[in-house]
A and B are shown apart, each in its own frame.
Chain A
């Protein structure tokens, strides 16, 4: 069993598991942090960005004025942003049989894997994962295609040139493999390969293994996966949460008794308590609005935003923010808000019960009804006529490199009354803000990451007790900035197996059993004999047929009768000699009884020696040794075959024969 690690990002994993004869890709995360090296894509012409000076090396030898721009001491690529894809050289992606998706954030690289690689398999995901994942992809494509950039910068990627660039561009890895965003057509094609599954539904893969999604409690439709054969069980734990937010709670008990547990997607903010952050978010928001400023919340169009809106629903009245408009701007804003209300079976119990009441599960519906929350596909159109300040705007993309957020950063960045509140933990806020410097606007970092923290995960692992744990190497040491926090890492016995991008791990367990079916007629012919109460054994001679990973024992076909020969005189061919099979022996030789039997047969001088594995009997007069061990008996006597045979028969008296 092998695990190929195609992504080094602990929360955006992409691993391939070879188990029995199947090749299973676990998640398909897209590392979008590469876009932080690019200039933002403004929706309307930005004089500031267009006036940024081009970059020329200090000695003037390298001139990349057109490709690279300098802003506040950092260099950015002026081109369509590109993403860092999962590794595609480690194994042939066309051999992948299935892709299991755990949540909508972990499927963003799907078109890169399923299209143009020869992939012919199936993708399995839950319905909310597919629908919301589609929204996120649509949004990404929309953000990119709305402001097309003709220029594609490639010179800077030249190894010799990149070496000369200032950091962090200099340190970016595998830049040649970075790719521009996919098209809508590729998205549709990729998503057409998705087959929907429900929690605990068992899907057979070629008869070899069974896969089944379990609720992971992190987002709508998010799942962990169980991959099991008859005798082995591998659990794949991706983004999971034990907090009571909107999704169905995490199913922990089904993870028990795993041989291997692959653990990814822990919180990226182990020191930030989501409740504290939510409180921090609300108080900073209220503080800004009271002072007459605007609040910008760069966020994804699905996920934490539902919880933020729910929290604000309770907070705005108490904080006297009733008259402040809240805007949610995204090409998929409307669908996102509405989808969340219809996936009743995927919600937490509390929200599920609301489905039977007139009120919708999420309170954002009421905010929309009362006109407190308004949503628009973009800043163009209706929004511009209804826009009122001070206000709160939720919009993407959280990297601040594309989407409507770029416009608001340009618009509000100059005033210290305004605040940008970062709630998504995926991007370093300082890096995200780098191309907007100098910035007067206040910045608050309240990353809300509800995924498991180290304390919760150690408790979980104690409960489910997997034999082996595999995890990203980042989880096996404390964070770099907090090297003294030994509690911010996984400490397990046996220690977890760490992986990094491009690792190939031999998973440390050996398959020892295989299930074999036996046909009824063959079963009928068996003669079982009981070796101990409740356990019977029988010998079987059969033909083993293996097809579609199912093994069946069938009766040996009888040899066809020999056709009568015309030549009578011809000597009949001798039928093949079939030796009667030797009986199988079982049982143990009891020492006292055996000695008594030996005595009966005239062997009296026996010296018994106890060994680690049993006994050695020295028949002194016969100069013979009998070694009685747990799994074998040896009779050592030189050139005395009759004695050996006698002794053998005496030993055999005590053993059962099949």
Chain B
């Protein structure tokens, strides 16, 4: 097929040359480029495979009549050809390269203003920047200047691509310099030794970039804000990608500017600034001067009068896994302050140094912006819990209590009031963003020591959320996840009272009939997860399934899931099938006798396979049989399973959905594995099966989970 394509390529190029600007859709060009990329990636020379391309490129370059999409395509194609050193040489010899990558050429033609062309130029440039030849070309043609100009381009796509390309330039400089220093044998050296002049070129580029960054990281007037944000993002990206010593050079170059920027206390710059500090901080030695200056910067920010900046700085300290425990402890205290103020739970002891910050944060919490502040506090709780207990400002159990109190305050139906800041209640009540963040925090806190004391409170609050008519589906989903998580870490469910269980059952039953499919789906998923949760101890000190403790076991769950098989939403049907498999797995493993209910389910699943118009449900149905066959202790003695598998196989193989087919093959493979348990190499199918098995796992990591 490739040869056919190659033979038609000259004609395609001809059409493209003649099409001018009349190409309404450039997806065909993207496809063409994909094909060239595939050829190039196989190691073959693109020019050898398609010799007509050089001619095409030079014709387009000299002919401005082509539309911007074709020009952009040509620039990218030139880059692709120049990726290999041979291709690069050919392009250079026919003087196409200079012309194509000369921005003045496009500016004079009045085409540079089109972002489509600029992005083609950048991407083409990025592609050729693979070898020292290209870098020399880049330096000689002084392309660094236009590239730097594009860093803050008005088009976000162009600016982002320019950022990536600059990183590529620096990485190449770095790798070539290290080659130059080490004088090790390298493919770059073999072809083209790194001359002194070239090394100077590289350092010239690095110096120019350092100057540029230093000059751009300024905020003298508000109009510079977007540009400054963009440069900070670029800087963070560069610091993450390049290693020492280049990273240290860049850092030293911008350090003064960064320090100056911090003093502007512009809150819009806080997040990108933190990203820079975090990126710079990782991997730096403690005694390295810039590191100490970075730490000083963080201290400055931690002591500012703007609570939003202080909170972000504290979060950055915790994320940077700082070695100084007092530093981390202070940051944890700062982050817990909003929670302390809002809930009135005393998480922090009296500390005069924080008094001023407490006043500032309390003021901030009376405004609508309190939402983001509380969310920053909650989303950093995982980091706080990682701290050593002696550095924590309070026992983790207290943090759980505070989060629970916050959740109560956020719940619309709750009449709880706190000893904390009253004004904040109007903003957080019913706010699903805060609710989700708090539930996330509660998920993490399940691992905290000593939480058994608050177990009942946790389940009460979660039941309240599951019951509340105002709970958003995403909040319901998080609540369910929290229940599963807390059940998982709870060795003893004896605290679950009848009243609590009754309330919980009512809530789950109601959510299974919710008008929003997302809520029904989460409920059904939850039932499956609870069915699959490991056993724990209950009132009678006996091993009990959590679903028995919470919901009274299969007698409650299975009818509810059976009902969900009829759900009008295919996602819910699929989830209910998976949940049934999870719920019934223990009884399959035990080899328990089949019930009428299970027979009904099988009949319904066959109906799904035959009639359901949506692929999700049919896929889940096949996976149900896979789960059954894998879990069943003695498949051959289970008549219903043996009777239904052939139907599933014949139906699944003819299904139009490829995933259904795939799962059917998995089922067949499982059947073969069970039929021929001895992996005898003499059996041809056994070998085939094993290979197929590995292929599936590699190709579809999630295809085995049901």
Contact = CB atoms under 8 A, between A and B. Distances in A.
Q: Do A and B come from one complex?
A: yes
A273 B470 contact: yes
Contacts of B512: 287
A278 B516 CA distance: 11
A283 B513 contact: yes
Given A272-B469, A290-B563, A446-B469, A315 B515 contact: yes
Contacts of B423: 486
Interface in B268-302: none
A510 interface: no
Nearest to B467: A280
Interface in A301-338: 311, 315, 317-320
A262 B348 CA distance: 48
Contacts of A280: 469, 510
A578 to B, nearest CB: 71
Nearest to A290: B563
Interface string A458-483: 00000000000000000000000111
Contacts of A277: 469
A484 interface: yes
B434 to A, nearest CB: 15
B513 A276 contact: no
A287 B564 CA distance: 12
B659 interface: no
B469 A484 contact: no
A318 B469 contact: no
Contact of B426 (A283, A285, A446, A487): A487
Interface in A282-298: 282-287, 290
Interface in B438-485: 468-470
Given A276-B470, A279-B469, A280-B469, A287 B412 contact: no
Contacts of B266: none
A565 interface: no
B513 A287 contact: yes
A271 interface: yes
Interface in B558-575: 563, 566-569
B469 A276 contact: yes
Nearest to A289: B513
Contact of A282 (B422, B470, B515, B566): B515
Nearest to B422: A484
B415 interface: yes
Nearest to A445: B469
B465 to A, nearest CB: 13
Contact of A283 (B413, B515, B567, B568): B515
A279 B514 contact: yes
A311 B566 CA distance: 20
A273 B63 CA distance: 65
A311 B515 CA distance: 10
A486 B425 contact: yes
A280 to B, nearest CB: 4
Interface string A230-264: 00000000000000000000000000000000000
A570 to B, nearest CB: 91
Contact of A286 (B412, B415, B426, B513): B513
Contact of A484 (B417, B514, B569): B417
**Interface residue range, chain B:** 20 to 34
Contacts of A484: 417-418, 422, 425
A485 interface: yes
Contacts, number: 65
Contact of A486 (B412, B422, B511, B567): B422
Which of B470, B513, B569 has the most CB atoms of chain A within a 10 A radius of its CB?
B513
Nearest to B472: A276
B147 to A, nearest CB: 50
B509 interface: yes
A459 to B, nearest CB: 14
Contacts of A290: 513, 563
B284 to A, nearest CB: 48
A464 B600 CA distance: 62
B614 to A, nearest CB: 15
B417 A318 contact: no
Interface string B186-230: 000000000000000000000000000000000000000000000
Nearest to A318: B568
B429 interface: yes
Contacts of A282: 513, 515
A484 B415 CA distance: 9
A284 B227 CA distance: 55
A482 B469 contact: no
Interface in B582-639: none
Contacts of A311: 515
B469 A487 contact: no
B444 to A, nearest CB: 28
Nearest to A444: B510
Nearest to B516: A279
Contacts of A276: 468-470
Given A271-B413, A273-B412, A446-B469, A485 B426 contact: yes
Interface string B396-428: 000000000000000011010110001101100
A287 B509 contact: yes
Contacts of B413: 271
B78 to A, nearest CB: 56
A282 B516 CA distance: 10
Contacts of B429: 485, 487
A319 B511 CA distance: 12
B536 to A, nearest CB: 28
Given A283-B510, A286-B513, A485 B425 contact: yes
Which of B417, B430, B510, B511 has the most CB atoms of chain A within a 10 A radius of its CB?
B510
Nearest to A446: B469
Contacts of A485: 425-426, 429
B568 A273 contact: no
B513 A273 contact: no
Nearest to B560: A290
A486 B469 contact: no
Nearest to B471: A276
Given A271-B412, A290-B563, A279 B515 contact: yes
B567 to A, nearest CB: 8
A284 B415 contact: no
Interface in B493-525: 509-516
Contacts of B510: 280, 283-284, 287
A273 B417 contact: no
Given A273-B470, A290-B563, A319 B513 contact: yes
A276 B619 CA distance: 33
Contacts of B567: 318
A283 B470 contact: no
A621 to B, nearest CB: 64
Contacts of B511: 283
Contacts of B422: 484, 486
B476 to A, nearest CB: 11
Nearest to A315: B515
A290 B568 CA distance: 16
Contacts of B468: 276
Nearest to A317: B568
Contacts of B566: 320
29 contacts: A271-B412, A271-B413, A272-B469, A272-B470, A273-B470, A276-B470, A278-B515, A279-B469, A279-B515, A279-B516, A280-B510, A282-B513, A283-B511, A283-B515, A287-B509, A290-B563, A311-B515, A315-B515, A317-B568, A318-B569, A319-B513, A320-B563, A446-B469, A482-B417, A484-B422, A485-B426, A486-B423, A486-B426, A487-B425
Q: Give the 4 A-B CB pairs with smallest separation, nearest first.
A: A487-B426, A484-B417, A286-B513, A276-B469
Interface of B: 412-413, 415, 417-418, 422-423, 425-426, 429-430, 468-470, 509-516, 563, 566-569
Given A273-B469, A279-B515, A487-B429, 18 more contacts: A272-B412, A272-B469, A273-B412, A273-B470, A279-B469, A279-B516, A282-B515, A283-B513, A286-B513, A287-B509, A290-B563, A311-B515, A315-B515, A320-B563, A484-B422, A485-B425, A486-B426, A487-B426
